[in-house]
């Protein structure tokens, strides 16, 4: 994270929205990975379960918001050149906020009350059981709807990039190889994003389903060990570290004046003049913007 942020601040521009979201996502992951449970060996911390749920909820909120912004930035809906902000994603992020607030209320009713009365449970009364089931079912439905909406956005991104690739054969070999490499890395990251989102949603639904064995008094025949949770946590760390490395601004610079060879036309003369700040985001944006001009 420190290396990524140093690379961003070396540039002569302000960080982009996606870079802000990425460093925030890395910060929430670092907070989630902190072994705060070791503090219980020395201090009396009856609120540790509640704190763990809050940490995981913050990470979920940031991860889901990042995926929406990540795909939205590459859809390149607006092509006027103005910078995006979180205001443009308020419709998408409001759904994430509603889901997270619902889960927070449920957690406050279950874990929060335990701080005052350890023997209290929201499941002991019919009204409490119905309310808890409502929150859990709504959370599951929201997770499923979110995943299908994310798949739709990723499909639109791939469709957008596929139509723009038609200009690649008309470029010089150096430029074509440069942008082909960017597109291949981008497609790999989008596929990894889809897999990571699917595994995350499945893990969340499984965690809610497993609780039914203890909360609903049903004899559910399911056996899930901590291997799943460890694997999901490891997947998050690998995925976010890969994003930090691949989306860090490059130290390489293209020549400010491309050389024409054998009468070939300079393809990117109408692109942004900010050649001193190359990165994965600006390169892909420039490629699509150029295709739109053509």
State how far the Cα of 282 lies from the Cα of 288, in Å rounded to an integer: 10
Q: By the 8 A CB rule, do 280 and 185 touch?
A: yes
**Contact present, 73 and 84 (Cβ < 8 Å):** yes
Asked if 110 and 121 touch (Cβ cutoff 8 Å), the reply is: yes
- Predicted confidence (pLDDT) per residue in 2-32, tens digit: 888 888 888 777 888 888 999 999 999 999 9
Residue among 50, 5, 59, 6 at smallest CA distance from 31:
59
The model's pTM? 0.75
Residue of 268, 235, 238 lying closest to 254 (CA atoms) = 268
Close Cβ partners of 271 (under 8 Å, ≥ 6 residues apart):
286, 289, 290
Euclidean distance between CA atoms 56 and 140, whole angstroms? 16
Give residue-wise pLDDT tens across range 170-225: 777 777 777 777 778 778 888 888 888 888 888 877 776 666 544 544 554 555 65
Distance CA 291, CA 275 (A): 18
Structure token pair of residue 247: 């989306």
């Amino acid at each position: 994270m420190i290396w990524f942020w140093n690379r961003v601040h070396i540039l002569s521009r302000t960080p982009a929205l996606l870079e802000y979201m990425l460093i925030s996502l890395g910060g929430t992951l670092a907070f989630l990975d902190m072994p705060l449970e070791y503090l219980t060996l020395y201090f009396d911390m009856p609120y540790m379960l509640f704190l763990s749920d809050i940490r995981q909820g913050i990470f979920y909120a940031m991860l889901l918001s990042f995926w929406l912004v990540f795909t939205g930035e590459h859809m390149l809906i607006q092509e006027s050149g103005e910078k995006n902000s979180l205001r443009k994603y308020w419709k998408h992020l409001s759904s994430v906020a509603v889901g997270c607030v619902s889960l927070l209320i449920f957690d406050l009713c279950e874990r929060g009350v335990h701080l005052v009365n350890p023997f209290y449970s929201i499941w002991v009364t019919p009204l409490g059981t119905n309310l808890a089931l409502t929150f859990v079912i709504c959370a599951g439905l929201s997770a499923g709807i979110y995943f299908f909406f994310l798949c739709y956005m990723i499909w639109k991104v791939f469709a957008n990039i596929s139509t723009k690739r038609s200009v690649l054969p008309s470029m010089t070999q150096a430029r074509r190889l440069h942008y082909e490499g960017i597109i291949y890395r981008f497609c790999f990251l989008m596929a990894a994003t889809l897999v990571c989102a699917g595994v995350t949603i499945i893990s969340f639904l499984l965690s809610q389903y497993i609780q039914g064995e203890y909360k609903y008094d049903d004899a559910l025949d399911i056996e899930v060990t901590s291997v799943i949770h460890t694997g999901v946590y490891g997947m998050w760390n690998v995925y976010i570290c890969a994003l930090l490395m691949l989306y860090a601004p490059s130290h390489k610079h293209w020549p400010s004046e491309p050389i024409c060879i054998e009468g070939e036309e300079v393809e990117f003369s109408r692109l942004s003049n900010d050649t001193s700040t190359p990165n994965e985001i600006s390169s892909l944006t420039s490629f699509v913007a150029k295709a739109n001009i053509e």
